[in-house]
Amino acid sequence: MGVIEDLRSDPLAFSPGVYVHIPFCEKVCTYCAFSVQVAKSEYVPRYLEAIANEHELRESGSSWSPKTLYIGGGTPSLLDGALLENLVARMRLKDLQEFTVEANPESINDEKLKLYRRAGVTRVSLGVQSFDDNILRFFGRTHDAETAKRAIDLISRQEGIELSIDLIYGAGPEDAWSWEKTLNSLKEVADQVDHISCYALTLEKKTKLSVLSKRAQVSKVVQDDDTLAQRYYYLDEVLQALGFHNYETSNWARDGYESRHNLNYWVRGEYLGLGCSAHSFIAGVRSANVFSMNRYLAKMERREDPTDFQETLSAEQELLEKVLLGLRCSVGVPASDVGEIPPSILKLVHRQGEYITLSKEGRMLADRVALELVTKG
């Protein structure tokens, strides 16, 4: 648990971080509400040039020395490996402790992975989502379970690159047998995996699933809360038995393989977001870039600031956010920040020395616990 101890002694141990949003996909998944679009080759070089220009604009005169870089999307692995390597070289980021690239199974190959290594990538985050082909079709994914397993095997053979996989549970068509199938497949590949992120499916506005739900074209889109909780606790039991520990509500890792970039978010470290819809948190100010890729391109080609929104939290909002984010993570929150624990939530938290963390039961009620700790009921 060295990483957690590092953060308790120095909350800014992995700060600052840089996130780069790549909005291109081969196909938009049915649940996706991010700023993404089907890739068109003519847009790729323009967009990567815009990213490089924004980085130059943001970093001008700054003494920042980022410790983590995360390239997400979208599907960054759709990009030619050499283009990605060139972008990173232009950003001139030194002394990175962690460099992650998101990937989809069907767009991973040995040549691309070798280019990733040459560019300094230390971790690939692979969007598996499910090992049940029926669920993958429901999600609109462009790979099947066997393709995911082949990609896992290929990445795990690359020396110096850690592997994280993403899963989603709770889709309407997912019954107990389907979830068991995914967990059994997970057991088969577990020795090749260092980190696992697993999130409950949520029905977001303006997604294909949302439209299908409104038109009653799908009988059930998301499982009920009780079923979601059952899926979650069963997953946690399986992962603990496989040697993974839960260090954030939806993330499990082998010791020493926690995501440093994401931990920086949870402890409210600083980070810079580049690209359309990317978020930043710098000097106490939260901001977000314009959501539309075309608007982003237009602004960057005119060398204009692409910021679309920013806010500075009040002291009360800041404390609530600190407690809520901290509780989601096994770092926890200093007991001195919250004072006495209300009797109503005693079973939902643990006291670990000078820190308050969530119990297993409390993980599903993090928002309630944070609110009660801050407002005392």
Where exactly are the structural domains of the chain? 2-266, 313-377
pLDDT of residue 6: 86
Give the angle 94-98-101 at the CA atoms, nearest 5°.
Answer: 105
Q: Which helix (H) or strand (E) holds 241?
A: helix 225-241
Q: What distance in Å separates the CA atoms of residue 26 and residue 4, rounded to the nearest whole number?
A: 37
Lowest pLDDT segment from 13-22, 128-137, 362-371: 362-371
Which H helix or E strand runs over 186? helix 176-189
Q: What is the pLDDT of residue 63?
A: 74
Checking if the pLDDT of 1 tops 60, the result is no
Q: What is the pLDDT of residue 232?
A: 97
Same fold, 2-266 and 313-377: no
Looking at residue 143, what is its pLDDT?
97
Question: Between 142 and 353, whose confidence is greater?
Answer: 142
Architecture of domain 313-377: Orthogonal Bundle (1.10)
| Model confidence pTM above 0.85 | yes
CA 87 to the chain's CA centroid: 21
Integer-rounded Cα Rg, in Å, for the chain is: 21
Is-contact 21 278, C-beta < 8 A?
A: yes
Tens of pLDDT, residues 338-352: 888 899 999 999 988
**The domain made up of 2-266 is a member of CATH 3.80.30.20:** yes
Residues 302-321: tens digit of each pLDDT: 999 999 999 999 998 999 99
Q: What is the pLDDT of residue 377?
A: 52
| Cα–Cα distance for residue pair 129/152, rounded to 1 Å | 13
The string of pLDDT tens digits covering residues 223-241 is: 999 999 999 999 999 999 9
> What does the mean pLDDT of the chain come to?
93
Contacts of residue 201, Cβ cutoff 8 Å, sequence gap at least 6: 31, 168, 169, 170, 171, 221, 222, 223
